[in-house]
Structure 1
């Protein structure tokens, strides 16, 4: 590598670091301001959410160092914005209830991001010299999809447990105006029955005007979250499949898929960067 190419690489690397620090720095500052506001309002649970958000914002950099991977700038920006949108805007500023579809949007992005994580983890094993087998692009895509769906299911387990143990409402309620059930006919067979809900009685009181229908306490929310998680996982799995199949070609995939670093190449790159000032 000549001096000009090395200088271009160093300049580009510095630009990436500046962009990363700018996005994370701005969001971290907003989280700190939110923490101060919550402290004045004595909302201690929201203060904990702010601390958790700061920890999550630092995770991409720690993951890069621990797993020896390089997260593309676009993917890293999406991760940072997702964390802020979910924790600060969603939980503290109540966007989950104020803005329809906010939860659906974030669960879709979550399925996409977790599939990327699963894809990268499997790719780490796929490129490791310690393993003698190599996985096909289709298998990598399937594993990424399954990994994303597994994390989605575990998250729904967490929401259900929190609602049952801590009396939260993470699994949001839905008002249903009609349901499908079954009844026994004279022959003893189950017959599907469509029921239109016209009145709702709760503890002997008429709640028809307040509710307007049957109150579902979590099933619809859970299934909706898993469905959009599935959409996000499928979207990334398709991108990952063609990325591996065509050996890393494609600007969209390259901007979204973490790259497994070669320790030897990274060491030589750092040596060249360290020699650069001396050569001048």
Structure 2
């Protein structure tokens, strides 16, 4: 059996296992009467088909390694994170997923710009550094738009997608009794909410820290992939790690000739 067929078999095996776990989760949520989580499970199954859709409709081959990361990311975000509340049970879960998201969005941005860069219809050829920079910017833009979405869902629909953080101290010029533009450091032990004192050990932040943390780790994921992209373009065809993570545009002319 060739190495390519082994990789394809492993990819199919991973997808089958994850799909079965999602189906079990959907059935479980049905018997629990949690129809919202059932919808999330069905949405997960639909998202599982996105890599194959991209492969067939856009002519972009998604390597086995990247497709596996995408499937695990979707499963981790929807089934583990949302349905099984890993976001609450494991504090670093959201950080891990946002870092991975920055990595994946950079991969998508890389594939898009590389598609144009290798097309004969465009006379301008971009350097590997510009392609990697575009991938980085694409990832950060998607990250910002997602934070806009989280804020909108919290503000208009009363959700808590921007998770609260406990901040033990604040620095504010508003609390300076002299009125000078010099911040005063205040250690916060408790807060009063609707007349009730909550000993939280700090100030209850309702989104700013979470948003900035998400964007920072998105930045890390985007930078990591951009570096891999630069190495891949400057040594195209070399390096197993890069080849397993970089989406590739299929040569339609060669496909036609093979047929």
TM-score (norm 1): 0.88
Matches within 5 A, 1:42-57: 42-57=33-48
- Is the contact between residue 87 and residue 93 of structure 2 (CA under 8 Å) also seen in structure 1? yes
Structure 2 residue aligned with 1:221: 210
SS of the residue corresponding to residue 191 of structure 1 reads coil
Large movers: runs of 4+ above 6 Å = none
Query: Is 2:68 aligned against 1:77?
Result: yes
- Is the contact between residue 149 and residue 230 of structure 1 (CA under 8 Å) also seen in structure 2? yes
Unaligned runs of 5+ in 2: none
State which drifts further: 159-168 or 214-223.
159-168
Query: Is 2:255 aligned against 1:261?
Result: no
Structure 2 residue aligned with 1:275: none
Please report how far the alpha carbon of residue 27 of structure 1 lies from its aligned counterpart in structure 2 after TM superposition.
Answer: 0.7
Aligned residues: 258
Q: Deviations over 1:97-123 (max 9, x none)?
A: 101201100100110011000000000
SS of the residue corresponding to residue 247 of structure 1 reads coil
Whole-angstrom CA distance in 1 between matches of 2:10 and 2:72: 14
- Is the contact between residue 111 and residue 230 of structure 1 (CA under 8 Å) also seen in structure 2? yes
Larger Rg: 1
TM-score (norm 2): 0.95
Please report how far the alpha carbon of residue 247 of structure 1 lies from its aligned counterpart in structure 2 after TM superposition.
Answer: 2.6
Unaligned runs of 5+ in 1: 1-7, 272-280
- Is the contact between residue 22 and residue 45 of structure 2 (CA under 8 Å) also seen in structure 1? yes
Structure 2 residue aligned with 1:142: 133
Query: Is 2:106 aligned against 1:115?
Result: yes
Structure 1 residue aligned with 2:49: 58
Please report how far the alpha carbon of residue 24 of structure 1 lies from its aligned counterpart in structure 2 after TM superposition.
Answer: 1.1
Whole-angstrom CA distance in 2 between matches of 1:26 and 1:198: 47
Whole-angstrom CA distance in 2 between matches of 1:23 and 1:205: 50
